[in-house]
Amino acid sequence: MDKLSVMNAFCRIVDRGSFARAAEDLGVSAALLSREVKLLENSLGCTLLTRTTRSMSLTDQGRLFYDAAQDILGAVDRIESRLQAQSGLVRGHLRINAPNSFGQFVLSRMLPDFLKQHPDLKVTLSLDDQVVDMIEGGFDLSLRIRAELPDSALRARRIGDVRQRVFAAPAYLDRAGAPSTPEDLQQHETIGFLLADHLAVWQLNGPEGSHIVNLAPKVRVGSSVVLRDLLIAGHGIGTLPDFISAEAEARGDLVRVLPQHELPRRHVYAVTASQLGADAKVSAFLDHLRAAL
């Protein structure tokens, strides 16, 4: 029995809460994992997991084994990562979760070169605008764009900034006129982003201070890309992060509204369940992403 492999499989089963999900992550069958855990329990002379058709839970001995296995695997990972980093070798399977639009506009452009630099690395990129449970999802790294992150057991590092500004198409402004003050926005058609904390209340910071503007968006969408396209089509005024607005603004498809004002700056956070930089593949990816940003 390869005890390190069995430890790793056992911890993955516990973290994922399922033999099937752990098997998918590890690229083996659930039946094989079940046999491995049974052999492990037989060798230890105790039951580690209690299983029914609907649930699975750790016994007291299982919790003791899981905690010890996590410490051992963590120590092995740190040693391997340190040696790989020194040799410039990055390998393994990197699982990343990121917001949809950030994946489309930023990650998709930096990934080809990153993969070319690290041919031995396997990457899974999951795009989801909802905040996911990293541990349950089996992710090594989650990228989140927020004004700030709530306290949690996870570790986070700010790796970039995002500016959020107000935009409209020239055709819309020709038809409806351009607002000259933040309060003028209340007389205009606006488009809201369903997943934002500023769906109908925009805080606009400018030279004369901060303005809180209450709006009633006629259209509300759950995709920043759809919002951008609606703005380009002349359906109103809305806010966009700079990594989405930059190209449309450069082409003249969108123009800044109230150019001296913008929403509070957001930040790009790299979130992991372990110490950032301890894993060579995570560290290599973040170095590449920082350069891209």
Closest CA to 289 of 155, 125, 135: 125
Q: Is the pTM of this model over 0.75?
A: no
Domains of the chain, each with CATH number or no CATH: 3-85 (1.10.10.10), 90-159+267-292 (3.40.190.10), 164-264 (3.40.190.290)
How confident is the model over 23-61, as pLDDT tens digits?
887 778 888 888 888 888 898 899 998 887 677 888 999
Number of Cβ atoms within 10 Å of the Cβ of 102: 21
DSSP for 131-153, please give it: PP-HHHHT-SEEEEEESS----S
Per-residue pLDDT tens for 195-220? 888 888 999 999 888 999 999 998 99
Give the pLDDT confidence score for residue 84 in this predicted structure.
63
C-beta separation of 255 from 117 below 8 A: no
| Amino acid sitting at position 119 | P
Quick one: how far is CA 200 from the chain centroid? 24
pLDDT tens by residue, 100-112 = 999 999 999 999 9
With a CB cutoff of 8 Å and minimum separation 6, the contacts of 96 are 107, 123, 124, 125, 126, 139, 140, 141, 142, 143, 285
* Integer angstrom CA distances of residue 235 from 189, 219, 238: 7, 9, 9
**Amino acid (1-letter code) at residue 269:** Y
The pLDDT, as a whole number, for residue 250 is 96
Return the bridge partners of 143, or none: 270
What gap in Å lies between CA 250 and CA 106, rounded to an integer?
17
Average pLDDT over residues 175-183: 95
Least confident of 27-31, 96-100, 113-117, 229-233: 27-31
Q: Measuring CA to CA, how many Å separate 131 from each of 128, 201, 276? A: 7, 22, 19
CA 217 to chain centre: 27
